[in-house]
Structure 1
Amino acid sequence: MTDQRIPLAGVIGSPVAQSRLPRIFGHWLKAMHLPGVYVPMDIVQADLAQVIRTLPKMGFVGVNIAAPYKETVMSIADLITDRATLIGAANTLIFRKDGKIHADNTEGYGFIESIRRAAPDWSARNGTAVVLGAGAAARSVIASLSDAGVPEILLTNRTRVRAEKLKEDFGQRVRVVDWVQAGNAIDGAALVVNATVLGGVGKPELRVPLDGLRPGTVVVDLVYTPLRTHMLQEAEQFGCITVDGLGMTICQAVPAFERWFGERPTMDEPTRAAVLA
């Protein structure tokens, strides 16, 4: 219809050129024959608040938020979901028709959904989860695992004080383990998650002993460049079920796409192929 505005959305970060989100959203819009445009926006922090408040006037229905602004946008939003409050960061902003900016965090949803797709038999009741890292990604992982009902989460980080801070925020279900004992913590775990940047392109390798892994253990690496990290390759040799980080990236985009464009997309192999092309 000529009187209907084409909905606009995008991702804000700095840098943002490396984001896979434009490929994901672009593929869905084309595959579903929907009007809409999704654009990457590299914005300096000094302009962030002004840009976000201006976007709705330009026809934007929402934006994803990338590093380093996931915490900053919390102070810009008018409304914040409980899960974004718990995590302390937002990766999705919805521009409501009443003019208010609604902040949400869909990373935990994307994390759990990616596991369920790759490992359908996994259950939160299977046992202990080990989380490597204590940054923003780890917060989302711990929040989602706690919400799912994992009985115990062993958290380890190179800087222990950061891990202790997460324990304070998430309670007794989380137990901090020294980084040098990470290999021992993995022994017998039902789920192991690398929530650090270690093992990614241009980063040091993740040097945690994995010989405690057992067949059937679900091993997740949130790093997706490279897609098959050394951790996942080694885990496969132990007979583990492996989950790469691209699945979480795609799955966390599903709720935002549905809110902004009115249709729920499918997380399928054509989507992965479009992102990896």
Structure 2
Amino acid sequence: MAGDPPKTPILAGVAGHPVSHSLSPIIHTIWAKRVGIEGHYIPIDVPANYDDFVRAMDALRAVGFAGVNVTIPHKEHALRYAGEASETAKAAGAANMLTFSDDSAKAENSDITGFAEAVQEKTAEPGTSALVLGAGGAARGVVLALKDLGLTDIRITNRTLERAKELGAAFDLAVIDWEKRLETLENIDVLVNTTSLGMTGQPPLELDLSGLDPSALVADIVYAPLKTALLKDAEAKGHATVDGLAMLMHQAVPGFRMWFGGEAIVDDDLRSELVKELKRRGRA
């Protein structure tokens, strides 16, 4: 209508350190263009300490950001910063979303639903048993997602046994010694790698899948490279697989809907654009 003031673009972003590698700005930009929303989603590098995180979040709120996704190393900082937190964020002990209001911020964890929905794309019935490699913040979210999917026999293993024991105690999980991980593959329905092993620039994940039932699902939350050695081996043996890109796309949906107010569809076209970007960066 003539004379109406111009709409203020919606502002959101992703905070982490480092953060330049993030594909989240591409995901949100594609969705915004699809639904005709004027908005900007910006990567924000925040030094890896809580005080700097607080200053950055206060500044973003002050300039009118609707919210931010939060990635390593700030997920626990985000939960601490928030005045309110969802039950899933509390259970995970970490948040990957902050939604801002005038005087507060709400923390949520969409990593949990993101992983669950990525698994459900591959199978409606993932089974009852799982082995999770790793015991960091990502593993906590994966464990909660597996529980939401109905898996009841979840086992955890980690290179540092004490961390595995801490996670096992928190979620009532069986703890497996890292050196005995191969012996645990038999009768496992879902295998998930949440460690950095196999990621570009990191040591390989040494895991012989010959003892794993061919019907088992194999997931790796890494997306650089897109197909890790674990996923390549799994595919060669006929396993259904879930890569880190699937989880990344699905976990982005709640934030876009919350901050931009539009529909966010995870489809082949979105995935294709992200794969192109990974190839451009030499990380596919």
Q: TM-score range by the shorter chain?
A: over 0.9
Per the alignment, residue 94 of structure 2 pairs with 89
Per the alignment, residue 24 of structure 1 pairs with 27
Per the alignment, residue 116 of structure 1 pairs with 120
* 1:8 lines up with 2:11 in the alignment: yes
Q: Are 1:13 and 1:68, in contact at CA under 8 Å, matched by a contact in 2? A: yes
* 1:268 lines up with 2:273 in the alignment: no
Q: Are 2:128 and 2:150, in contact at CA under 8 Å, matched by a contact in 1? A: no
How far the C-alpha of 1:51 sits from its partner, in A, is 1.8
Rounded to whole Å, the distance in 1 between the matches of 2:6 and 2:64 is 13
The number of residues matched between the two structures is: 271
How far the C-alpha of 1:25 sits from its partner, in A, is 0.8
Rounded to whole Å, the distance in 2 between the matches of 1:249 and 1:151 is 25
How far the C-alpha of 1:3 sits from its partner, in A, is 4.9
Q: Which runs of 5+ in 1 are unaligned?
A: none
Rounded to whole Å, the distance in 2 between the matches of 1:272 and 1:79 is 33
How far the C-alpha of 1:274 sits from its partner, in A, is 1.7
Q: Are 2:35 and 2:263, in contact at CA under 8 Å, matched by a contact in 1? A: no
- Tell which deviates more after alignment, 222-231 or 44-53: 44-53
TM-score, with structure 1 as normaliser: 0.94
Q: Which runs of 5+ in 2 are unaligned?
A: 277-284
CA RMSD between the two structures = 1.3
Per the alignment, residue 73 of structure 1 pairs with 78
Rounded to whole Å, the distance in 2 between the matches of 1:35 and 1:3 is 11
Per the alignment, residue 247 of structure 1 pairs with 246
Rounded to whole Å, the distance in 2 between the matches of 1:169 and 1:3 is 50
Paired letter, 1:100 = S
TM-score, with structure 2 as normaliser: 0.92
How far the C-alpha of 1:168 sits from its partner, in A, is 1.2
- 1:157-196 aligned at under 5 Å gives the runs 157-171=158-172, 174-196=173-195
Rounded to whole Å, the distance in 1 between the matches of 2:140 and 2:184 is 19
Q: Are 1:182 and 1:209, in contact at CA under 8 Å, matched by a contact in 2? A: no
Identity %: 38
Rounded to whole Å, the distance in 2 between the matches of 1:69 and 1:155 is 24
Paired letter, 2:115 = F
* 1:57 lines up with 2:62 in the alignment: yes
Paired letter, 2:19 = V
Q: Are 1:186 and 1:210, in contact at CA under 8 Å, matched by a contact in 2? A: yes
Rounded to whole Å, the distance in 2 between the matches of 1:93 and 1:276 is 27
Rounded to whole Å, the distance in 2 between the matches of 1:261 and 1:231 is 36
The one of 106, 109, 129 equivalent to 2:110 is 106
Per the alignment, residue 53 of structure 2 pairs with 48
Rounded to whole Å, the distance in 2 between the matches of 1:227 and 1:75 is 32
Rounded to whole Å, the distance in 1 between the matches of 2:231 and 2:68 is 31
Rounded to whole Å, the distance in 2 between the matches of 1:206 and 1:30 is 39
